[in-house]
Structure 1
Amino acid sequence: MWILDSSLRKDEVVLWGPGGAIERVRAPSSFLFNLPDLPSHWEMVDGLTETFPVSEVTIQTIYGPLKGFQINAGVSVAEMIAVQTQYSARLFNVDLRRDLRYLAEHRHSPCRGRGIDRFSATVDQDLVTMEIAIKGDPLQKRAITDCTVICDHQRSRFSGDEQTVLADLFGLIEAVDPDLLLFPNADIWMERVIAAAGRHGIRQTISRTERFATLDSRSYWSYGRMYHRPKAMLPEGRVLIDTAQSFIYKEAGLEGILIAARLTGLPPNRTARCTPGTLISTYEVYEALTRGIAVPWQKTDADRVKSMGSLRAVDRGGMMFQPEPGVYGRTYQIDFTSLYPAIIVKHNLSPETVEHPELQGFLATVLDPLLSMRIATKEQKRCDPTVTGVDAMLKWMLVTCFGYTGYRNAKFGRVDVHERITGISREVLIETKAIAEQLGFTVLHGIVDCLWVQGEPIRALKLAVEEETGFRTEVETYDWLVFLQQKDGSGAYNRYYGRLDDGSVKVRGIMMRRGDCPRYVAQMQQAVLGVMKKARSVLDLQALTGEAEGVYEQYRSGLAHTKIADLLISRRISTVTYSRRCPEAGAVAGYRRAGVQVAPGMTLQYVVRDAKKGLADPVWEAREMDHAYYISLLEKAWSELLPAIKPEQKIQGILLL
């Protein structure tokens, strides 16, 4: 059976395929618990047995079997057991979704037909897809009067009063009965759309049952940044993807979401709203359940007591070699393919192998097929672009699998594994540098899992590194490359750009890559780089100085006449209270004036009207701009490109060929 969605109804799991429900199965809540001091808690066990079905079982964990109990009860009972045993009880499978458990225990997974390998990168089902776009800003409380729908390459536009537009939209959805709805800002629009349908007495057809599961809005920290997830309404039996808010959709597309659902056991509705970290964590949970391994609820093995000597000895992060800022001629970038997960697999790293390396590590075994899949898709996308999205999704899942080994709440994480991975990666990078220098290469820069080198022949270096380290590598060739400098004049680790030998330009860390860069400023950098990429060498770059300057001056002089929409700044705010005047504070004030509830982690869109006074207007109110402020942004973006065409002005005279 091909599963498109799964939903919960009391003690049932409902499985949906394209077109409707295909199966209902009983799946009551249950969990496992172990009592290290069982005689002290017999009265509690007897009391539980009188109220709930309880049976003695052997609990399989990654560390080995435990004697314990299975009880058909929910989270509230688990919490009671934890409190009554003064948190000495070990509880498992408490907070898992019942549909995920059912699918894993029966070896089913979403988005996969009979006989299809779960680790295949191909979607084996034709799904009816509909694209919906409502005109206007979803945060404004205005009537919905204009909507465009695309289905089967046909475009329909509904306009008029709100009741007519919604009736036409829901009527078309009912007639076509699509499996997938692609809807920008759906998670912001949906509450308004459903409320409006209720006011007008219109039966909504977005959910195949008119029922929705709800994900509450929340602000949260991740990797040092504040994020905000808006409230989401997930329809039953149909997939609704917020194409503007979903990170996975923006990075990996529809195919990436469907294959991620297949790997993790989560329905696409939830997969589309997950972070890569949640995806890899859920994938590990799914793998554990298919193997009969219990999933801990409240972890006790995230870290262990260490001596001062061992604390000093542990590795504290990835290795980096700082570059000298400058313009470089032919340069090679040698990258290790998914180095951190490859280290986990090769060195059999897992929480249980820290003290017992002879065991087969759980993390190593579950990441092995995912790593093999990534290696295959990375090779396949060179001739088959349809797997590009799947490859991007796998890249993000494998990137975060390392971070989750050190995350205290990760179901199968332990900081010792995290430290061992970074320690091995440091050794690998140092070894690779030594191999390069022994072969006569000059090492320009290195960061965690890649090196930039000059020398020949690069194939000899690639083969030598792979043979000595045991890890796969890839090579990118630059005709020229620019490492930018930091404020103190030293080389920046992650700000560079250069022309690859296929004629494209690779950029990292410059303004056009920033999420808050106005479109007009990004277009200027893209246009100048479009001129610069014609250069096949550093000397050719100097000959293009005049043409590049002409493009910059064109954008500078054209600023006063550009569309206000091209000057929008999209910035994720970490706070809603400010002690000084600044554009962000002005934008927050503007959103609040419009009745929008602002929360940390939200992305606000605004145009700066007066930077000195901290005045900024939300996207729907923007009419004026601070010309001097936007000129300063253009100048900053231009200054990042100057080192390539006038190196003596910005790189303190350094020019390496």
Structure 2
Amino acid sequence: MPFAFDFDDGAVVEWSKTPDGVESRRVTDYAPAMYLAGPEEALESLESPVAARGDVAAVSWDRKFTGLDADERALVLRIEAKDPRGVPALAGGVRESLLADLPPGRVRAYDVDLAPGFRYCLDTGASPAPAEPLETVRFDLPEKALADGDLSALSVDGSEAATERDALDVAAARLDERDPDVLVVSDAGVLSLLAERAVDFGADVPLGRRPGLERLAGENTVESYGRVLHSPARYAVPGRAVVDVGSSFLWAESRLDGLLYLVERSWRPLSEAAWASIGTVLTSMQTREARARDVLVPWNKRRPESFKSVETLHAADRGGFTFDPEVGLHENVVEVDFASLYPRIICEYNVSPDTVLCDCHAGRSDVPELGYNVCDERGFLADVLEPLLEDRRDLKDEARAAEAAGDEERAAAARHRAGAIKWVLVSCFGYQGYRNAKFGRIECHEAINAVARDLLLRAKETAEEAGWRVVHGIVDSLWVTRDAADADPPEEIAARVSEAADVPLEVEDAYEWVCFVPKRGSNRGALTRYFGKVADRDEYKVRGIEARQRSTPAFVEEVQRELIEAVGRHRAPEPVCDRLARHRARLRRGDVSAEELARTARVSRPAGEYRRDTLVAAAVRRAERRGLSRAPGQDVRYVVTDADGDGIDRVRLDFEAPSDYDAAFYDDALLRAAESVLSPFGWDRGRIRRYLRPGRDATLAAFE
């Protein structure tokens, strides 16, 4: 089975791993196709003009389903492109030159924006999952060195060199020795720099199994769910897959084992899966299932929301159910949650774009609150997600068995694969409400939420009837504490709820104690801010507060975690404040390294477009001054040296190895972190400051 695909002069080259090495096969007769659907007379008028285009190999007629809930196949125009990667450009040309004169929506295009390797696998039935283990070589280069074009800092599988020429020699030797199938790089730009320096020095560095380095796409900035994200340039080398770890969320979460699992399930080749988002991988899985059903994939989704009464709209326009947490410290708390709640609702309740509000069961009320009917025929989404749920269950069992047998390598591989599945399952629900999701439908999103709210309320009622009190609940989880001496065991409650709901409710954790944190400036509990000590384990669970925020400096995180442990030992705010005092003194004395105080921020706009002189703006401008431009969506790391100063001298970038810092600024950050820990006791920053005023008497906790 091929694991890498090259597109070369109108042909596709497959690269397959065998027990004896690597084989290649050149395919010259592959022509990808797009489709046009609409009234027959409109398609007939387009047939000749489309066929006359120079980038079209052939035009023919076919019959396909144009929607998941279509009752019969429609007559469509099949248009084959000459270039194996030419469908998107062909579709753009057809739209601009031929469809622009037609009424909007009269003719619609399908199977247009599929990644070329993924499309080839679907069209030819060639699974991109490798049949043999893949060899890898890793190239790491510090970001500043890459920006400066300095290859001397290159690390090849951990081996470093003193000069650029030495780095090239080390890279060439490792490539020759390992003949890798996958190049794992800290940034894809490292490949371009290696190729440039090889030419400069007249060195032979075989990045690919054949000569050539192709830039597939330039860097780009995108916005997703209100967040600005950066997409770096992408490169391809012949005969090898490329994984850019700096831009691959999937690599960060699941490593090569998890990526290869998603390759097997989605049929996106490794290089394309590595740079894809979770939503893109999920769409690929859905596209593969749609192909199996002979359903075309729309280029632009045009499925309007169904008409709803005001009452239904009000009931539908809600999210998951939440209970205000009881602010404060609670002893002996049990957390129960529904395992993979949303995907299991999709599977168990058959919620899918082709089943919700079907015509064949109109008038039936299957979804609580909303009254939507759901078809009895098995839905499209269930076929996509159920294998993932089954695999995740089996992989978690495998990981536990491997750990018990002392096989950590096998356990890690199973955990990575299960982790990859987790992220796809997490995104499947939100994607139903995403406006650009190929197979999304807002009514599915609403139905899933309605069922989830009903299940959580029923779980709450069952727990209360069994002698427990709910102290917090959100979407798929409840935190309960014993309210009666003869309360039923939580495992029995979970079993009863699971049987009634057809969705497993599990005991997630038992806590010796847990603190629910209030919103800042309010007495009401924050839904996602809490911390607590897990029972019978030397482990603390922390959510929402500074220790879990990516911008928090390592020093502040470490102190906050220490303060949380002090809460567990003393159950009182005063000893916690005394521990804080020791760290504030360290900070003022200059005993904290600047490296521990580096903050991480995501850049939201180009350096020249910041309107306010914030610390982030200063860091971005300083990076640009130092030759390290930061695009929107990228991160910048900096140490605050003078928060009240002006311009770029307020900060130093992490690679500048700053020797000093603004102690007052970081003291405020410590107090903010301490407030998160002590606010469940009713202490705010003002009270903390008053307690720590000079001349106070410290408790013994200060000297632990």
Shared topology, TM-score over 0.5? yes
Alignment pair present for 1:570 and 2:593:
no
SS of structure 2 residue aligned to 1:27: coil
- Residue 320 of structure 2 contacts residue 475 of structure 2 at CA under 8 Å; is this kept in 1? yes
Q: Indicate which of 176, 179, 183 corresponds to 1:177.
A: 179
SS of structure 2 residue aligned to 1:353: coil
Q: How many angstroms does 1:366 deviate by?
A: 1.4
Q: How many angstroms does 1:529 deviate by?
A: 4.2
Q: How many angstroms does 1:650 deviate by?
A: 5.2
- C-alpha distance in 2, partners of 1:479/1:366? 40
Aligned residue in 2 for 1:72: 80
- Residue 323 of structure 1 contacts residue 493 of structure 1 at CA under 8 Å; is this kept in 2? yes
**What amino acid sits opposite 2:677 in the alignment?**
L
- Residue 171 of structure 2 contacts residue 205 of structure 2 at CA under 8 Å; is this kept in 1? no
Note the alpha carbon deviations across 1:628-651, whole angstroms, 9 max, x for none. 11111122222223357xx35359
Aligned residue in 2 for 1:31: 34
Aligned residue in 1 for 2:514: 481
Change (3 A) 1:190 1:639: farther
Change (3 A) 1:215 1:527: farther
- C-alpha distance in 1, partners of 2:34/2:467? 60
Q: How many angstroms does 1:626 deviate by?
A: 0.9
- C-alpha distance in 2, partners of 1:252/1:76? 34
Aligned residue in 1 for 2:337: 335
Change (3 A) 1:241 1:498: same
Q: How many angstroms does 1:557 deviate by?
A: 2.8
- Show the 5 A alignment for 1:602-641: 602-613=634-645, 615-623=650-658, 624-641=660-677
- C-alpha distance in 2, partners of 1:616/1:459? 53
**What amino acid sits opposite 2:630 in the alignment?**
V
- Residue 337 of structure 1 contacts residue 473 of structure 1 at CA under 8 Å; is this kept in 2? yes
**What amino acid sits opposite 2:518 in the alignment?**
Q
Aligned residue in 1 for 2:428: 401
Note the alpha carbon deviations across 1:53-90, whole angstroms, 9 max, x for none. 22221112412321222121333443425434333113
Tell me whether 451-460 or 519-528 shows the greater mean CA deviation: 519-528
- C-alpha distance in 2, partners of 1:131/1:39? 56
Structure 2: gaps of 5 or more residues: 82-86, 359-374, 403-410, 688-704
- Residue 140 of structure 1 contacts residue 594 of structure 1 at CA under 8 Å; is this kept in 2? no
Change (3 A) 1:313 1:146: closer
Q: How many angstroms does 1:225 deviate by?
A: 1.7
- Residue 531 of structure 2 contacts residue 542 of structure 2 at CA under 8 Å; is this kept in 1? yes
Aligned residue in 2 for 1:593: 625
- Show the 5 A alignment for 1:31-70: 31-35=34-38, 37-49=39-51, 52=56, 53-60=58-65, 61-64=67-70, 65-70=73-78
- C-alpha distance in 2, partners of 1:107/1:194? 34
Q: How many angstroms does 1:390 deviate by?
A: 1.4
- C-alpha distance in 2, partners of 1:189/1:97? 23
Tell me whether 92-101 or 600-609 shows the greater mean CA deviation: 92-101
- C-alpha distance in 2, partners of 1:228/1:50? 39
Q: How many angstroms does 1:443 deviate by?
A: 0.7
**What amino acid sits opposite 2:516 in the alignment?**
F
- Show the 5 A alignment for 1:417-496: 417-455=444-482, 456=487, 457-475=489-507, 476-487=509-520, 488-496=522-530
Q: How many angstroms does 1:569 deviate by?
A: 0.9
Aligned residue in 1 for 2:694: none
Aligned-residue CA RMSD (Å): 2.6
- Residue 37 of structure 2 contacts residue 76 of structure 2 at CA under 8 Å; is this kept in 1? yes
Q: Indicate which of 520, 535, 551 corresponds to 2:555.
A: 520
SS of structure 2 residue aligned to 1:324: coil
- C-alpha distance in 2, partners of 1:50/1:630? 68
Q: How many residues align?
A: 625
Aligned residue in 2 for 1:9: 8
- Residue 5 of structure 1 contacts residue 238 of structure 1 at CA under 8 Å; is this kept in 2? yes
- C-alpha distance in 1, partners of 2:685/2:152? 55
Task: Give the TM-score normalised by the residue count of structure 2.
Answer: 0.83
Q: How many angstroms does 1:204 deviate by?
A: 3.4
SS of structure 1 residue aligned to 2:295: coil
**What amino acid sits opposite 1:29 in the alignment?**
P
- Residue 600 of structure 2 contacts residue 636 of structure 2 at CA under 8 Å; is this kept in 1? yes
Change (3 A) 1:135 1:603: closer
Change (3 A) 1:42 1:183: closer
SS of structure 2 residue aligned to 1:489: coil
Tell me whether 97-106 or 416-425 shows the greater mean CA deviation: 97-106
- Residue 518 of structure 2 contacts residue 679 of structure 2 at CA under 8 Å; is this kept in 1? no
SS of structure 1 residue aligned to 2:435: coil
Overall identity of the aligned pairs, in %: 29
Q: How many angstroms does 1:358 deviate by?
A: 3.9
**What amino acid sits opposite 1:352 in the alignment?**
D
Change (3 A) 1:41 1:296: closer
SS of structure 1 residue aligned to 2:533: strand
Note the alpha carbon deviations across 1:153-176, whole angstroms, 9 max, x for none. xx533212x233223322321232
Q: How many angstroms does 1:331 deviate by?
A: 0.8
- Residue 91 of structure 2 contacts residue 112 of structure 2 at CA under 8 Å; is this kept in 1? yes
Change (3 A) 1:307 1:641: closer
SS of structure 1 residue aligned to 2:151: coil
Change (3 A) 1:459 1:531: same
Q: How many angstroms does 1:214 deviate by?
A: 2.1
Q: Indicate which of 148, 162, 175 corresponds to 1:159.
A: 162
- C-alpha distance in 1, partners of 2:332/2:476? 20
Tell me whether 320-329 or 265-274 shows the greater mean CA deviation: 265-274
- C-alpha distance in 2, partners of 1:651/1:590? 32
Q: How many angstroms does 1:448 deviate by?
A: 0.8
**What amino acid sits opposite 1:330 in the alignment?**
N
Tell me whether 9-18 or 599-608 shows the greater mean CA deviation: 9-18
- Residue 31 of structure 1 contacts residue 93 of structure 1 at CA under 8 Å; is this kept in 2? yes
Tell me whether 344-353 or 7-16 shows the greater mean CA deviation: 7-16
Structure 1: gaps of 5 or more residues: 114-124
Aligned residue in 2 for 1:377: 395
- Show the 5 A alignment for 1:149-298: 149-150=156-157, 156-160=159-163, 162-184=164-186, 186-209=187-210, 210-298=212-300
- C-alpha distance in 1, partners of 2:545/2:154? 37
Tell me whether 494-503 or 617-626 shows the greater mean CA deviation: 617-626
Note the alpha carbon deviations across 1:246-282, whole angstroms, 9 max, x for none. 2112211221112112211122222222221111111
Aligned residue in 1 for 2:379: 361
SS of structure 2 residue aligned to 1:561: coil
Q: Indicate which of 129, 143, 148 corresponds to 1:141.
A: 148
**What amino acid sits opposite 2:652 in the alignment?**
D
- Residue 675 of structure 2 contacts residue 685 of structure 2 at CA under 8 Å; is this kept in 1? no
- C-alpha distance in 2, partners of 1:652/1:333? 33
